[in-house]
Amino acid sequence: MNKAMKPALLIMAAGMGSRYGGLKQIDTVDDEGNKIVDFSIYDAWRVGFGKVVFVIKKENEADFRKAIGERVEKHIDVAYAFQDLHDIPEGYKVPEGRIKPWGTAQAVLSAAGVLQEPFAVINADDFYGREAFVKIHDFLKEQGERDENEYAMVGFLLKNTLTENGYVSRGICSADENGFLQGVTERTRIEKDGERAKYSLDDGKTWLPLTGDEIVSMNIWGFSLSFMDELKSAFERFIGELGGDSDPLKAECYLPSVVDGMIKEGRARVRMLSSADRWFGVTYKEDKENVRRSVEELKKKGVYPERLW
């Protein structure tokens, strides 16, 4: 990468929070009207990202621009991409009855036309903390000095990502002796268990223990621009295989699954970075008060100013 070219931050914000109930990406978490995503953009801007790309649904554009885009575009370049259910490879049709888009891989792929630089990917409704942005930014700034199929992710300690209000899904990561990601195992029902954690494979009938110190993926990734070609090919394969072992009305093409497939085929390496910061987000409505308290504590410590923008 040209040293003068700053990395971009791609923010996936097209999902409606089904468990939360509503467009949680534009819900405020402090008295100044900031949303969780404002803190991510602020951290990214402070550490040197040059552009933010919002992946949203077209029908949410006006609300999203007013609530977030117009507030931050005075400080950082802003672009928009739109995730669309009907944006699929030529020659295929959307299955009758399908309502939701095609998952996080399609969300990232929808931004191919507005990216010209290495980029990080995050969720709009997750608070990551500044350490994660420092590490992924520094990795991307050196992208031109390594193989274009070497990517990165920032992992978090499982115990720093749990909620008191229900169960969560997490991808538990394993790394080799050189610090490269070996794989991500999805656990769809993890709950806090005192100072530790537990997970279930049978809807809570039985439980298996976790220490809480496992490294989990919270969907913060760093990619070279060439990754878009890999995504395009993976998404075409996914659409072509619909109706086999997958439910055509619910199946999604997940970003971690694409990366995991490349690792297993020996076509990519992913540097596993880590952050000791506490992640938080609003999975359930009851989580919002905890987020507000956490934000106020960080402001009191001087990590963030009272008003971001």
Span 24-55, pLDDT tens digits: 556 789 999 999 999 999 999 999 999 999 99
Q: Which of 158, 157, 153 is nearest to 179 (CA)?
A: 153
* Residue 21: pLDDT over 60: no
* Residue 145: pLDDT over 80: no
Q: CA-to-CA distance for 9 and 146, rounded, in angstroms?
A: 20
pTM of the model: 0.90
pLDDT > 70: percent of the chain = 94
pLDDT score, position 88? 95
Mean pLDDT of the chain: 91
Contact call for residues 182 and 174 (beta carbons, < 8 A)? yes
Contact call for residues 99 and 85 (beta carbons, < 8 A)? yes
Contact call for residues 44 and 9 (beta carbons, < 8 A)? yes
User: What SS3 state is found at 28?
Assistant: strand
What region does 294 belong to: left with phi over 0, alpha with psi -120 to 50, or beta?
Answer: alpha
pLDDT score, position 158? 97
* Residue 22: pLDDT over 70: no
pLDDT per position as a tens digit, 256-304: 889 989 999 999 999 999 999 999 887 777 888 889 999 999 999 999 9
Query: Which residues have a Cβ under 8 Å from the Cβ of 236 and sit 6 or more positions away?
Result: 89
> Domains in the chain, ordered, with CATH?
8-300 (3.90.550.10)
Rg over CA atoms, the chain? 19
What is the mean predicted confidence (pLDDT) over 86-106? 94
Residue 120's beta-bridge partner residues?
9, 222
